[in-house]
């Protein structure tokens, strides 16, 4: 499909037509964007927005999406900008949107190449919204509150090449998803509580790290399979917590690095019954407790070499650089050739 290009700048005075020569304000872009539009948000003086929502008159759908995409000097110039040497998202020249209220997305809406920051005792971006997709975005909620969430959406939503962070001492799930969730190539950072919560879904090539406490990944539903592949979970309380209900399908973990956590894998239903998991080619090291409530699971080629601390696996975990060093025990043992876990 060919998008209709629309434009937003921070210098817009209001009442514009959404064209390059007569752009919208950011709030107007949220209100006026239609399915089939790509609303290009210019990186200039920055944006400040209270509680708002994508409020399109013609709702996007599976055929015609509505995209909000950042740009610097020409539309599309921030696509594929990639990551910095330490693995963090390169947000140089991204539009920065400071939120003083939640930005609620819409079904089949896409946010791309945008950076959001705020201090909210709620979601920063998201809502009870299905089919909401984020590509190459950064979300940082600085609030010190148990309800603070960086990003959260409902069923069939995605985080692709995004960074999510809650920097307050108390926070809710940094990223909060529901069913049929998909994440790939993300970094999720918290200081406690839950880092990534989902009912079920697929999480690939994602780094999750904290400050010795909380839960790395909390799986809340046992009705459909959750797959974790090429992920790194570092320095949290419980790396992975499975549902407090009878297990119907096993968790599947492949090529993951789970290190320096208080506990590796915890079955929240262990007081009633054990469950099992499929674990293939995972690297585990220096987790104080291994598995709780995991019965006769399938653990194939687990890599437990322990010749030191985080420096034996990662470039510089203290500086939050979780790229694998060449000599990392799990680097050459993964199932996917030349794949740098968490890169």
Same structural domain for residues 5 and 84? yes
Same structural domain for residues 56 and 118? yes
Same structural domain for residues 216 and 286? yes
Same structural domain for residues 154 and 287? no
Same structural domain for residues 269 and 149? no
Same structural domain for residues 69 and 177? yes
Per-residue pLDDT band at 237 (split at 50, 70, 90): very high
Q: Which two three-digit tokens encode residue 136?
A: 């190459």
Q: Residue 233 to residues 82, 140, 142, 284: CA-CA distances in angstroms?
A: 21, 19, 22, 10
Instruction: Output the average pLDDT for the chain.
Output: 92
What is the reported pLDDT for 10? 95
What is the reported pLDDT for 293? 86
Same structural domain for residues 231 and 174? no
Same structural domain for residues 146 and 178? yes
- The 8 Å CB, 24+ separation contacts for 296-304 are 297/250, 298/250, 301/333, 303/329, 303/330, 303/333
Same structural domain for residues 163 and 201? no
Same structural domain for residues 17 and 60? yes
Q: What is the pLDDT of residues 8-58, one digit of tens each?
A: 999 999 999 999 999 999 999 999 999 999 999 999 988 999 999 998 767
Q: Give the number of domains in the chain.
A: 2
Same structural domain for residues 113 and 215? no
Residue pair 123/147 in contact (Cβ under 8 Å)? The answer is no
Q: Which two three-digit tokens encode residue 155?
A: 């069923």
The SS3 assignment for 173 reads coil
CA atoms within 13 A on the CB side of 35: 12
Q: Which of the listed residues 191, 211, 246 is the one where a domain comes to its end?
A: 191
Same structural domain for residues 281 and 173? no
- Per-residue pLDDT at 260 exceeds 50: yes
Q: Which of the listed residues 164, 191, 218 is the one where a domain comes to its end?
A: 191
Q: Which of the listed residues 154, 175, 191 is the one where a domain comes to its end?
A: 191
Q: Which domain holds residue 276?
A: 194-343
């Amino acid at each position: 499909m060919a998008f209709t290009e629309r434009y937003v700048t921070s210098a817009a005075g209001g009442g514009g037509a959404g064209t390059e020569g007569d752009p919208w304000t950011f709030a107007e872009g949220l209100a006026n964007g239609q399915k089939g539009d790509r609303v290009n948000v210019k990186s200039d003086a920055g944006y400040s927005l209270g509680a708002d929502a994508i409020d399109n008159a013609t709702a996007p759908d599976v055929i015609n999406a509505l995209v909000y995409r950042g740009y610097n000097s020409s539309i599309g110039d921030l696509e594929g900008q990639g990551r910095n040497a330490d693995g963090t998202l390169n947000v140089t020249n991204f539009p920065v949107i400071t939120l003083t209220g939640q930005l609620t997305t819409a079904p089949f809406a896409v946010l791309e190449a945008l950076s959001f920051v705020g201090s909210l005792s709620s979601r920063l971006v998201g809502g009870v919204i299905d089919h909401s997709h984020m590509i190459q975005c950064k979300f940082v909620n600085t609030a010190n509150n148990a309800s603070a969430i960086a990003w959260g959406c409902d069923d069939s939503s995605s985080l692709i090449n995004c960074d999510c962070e809650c920097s307050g001492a108390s926070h809710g799930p940094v990223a909060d998803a529901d069913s049929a969730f998909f994440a790939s190539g993300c970094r999720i950072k918290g200081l406690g509580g839950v880092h990534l919560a989902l009912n079920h879904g697929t999480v690939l090539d994602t780094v999750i790290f904290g400050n010795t406490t909380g839960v790395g990944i909390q799986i809340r539903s046992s009705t459909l399979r959750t797959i974790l592949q090429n992920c790194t979970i570092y320095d949290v309380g419980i790396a992975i917590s499975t549902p407090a209900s009878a297990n119907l399908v096993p968790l599947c973990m492949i090529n993951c690095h789970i290190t320096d956590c208080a506990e590796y894998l915890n079955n929240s239903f262990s007081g009633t019954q054990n469950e099992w998991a499929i674990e293939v080619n995972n690297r585990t090291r220096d987790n104080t407790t291994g598995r709780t409530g995991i019965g006769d699971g399938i653990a194939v080629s687990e890599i437990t070499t322990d010749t030191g601390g985080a420096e034996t696996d990662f470039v510089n975990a203290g500086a939050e650089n979780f790229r694998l060093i060449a000599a990392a025990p799990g680097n050459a043992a993964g199932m996917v050739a030349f794949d740098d876990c968490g890169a």
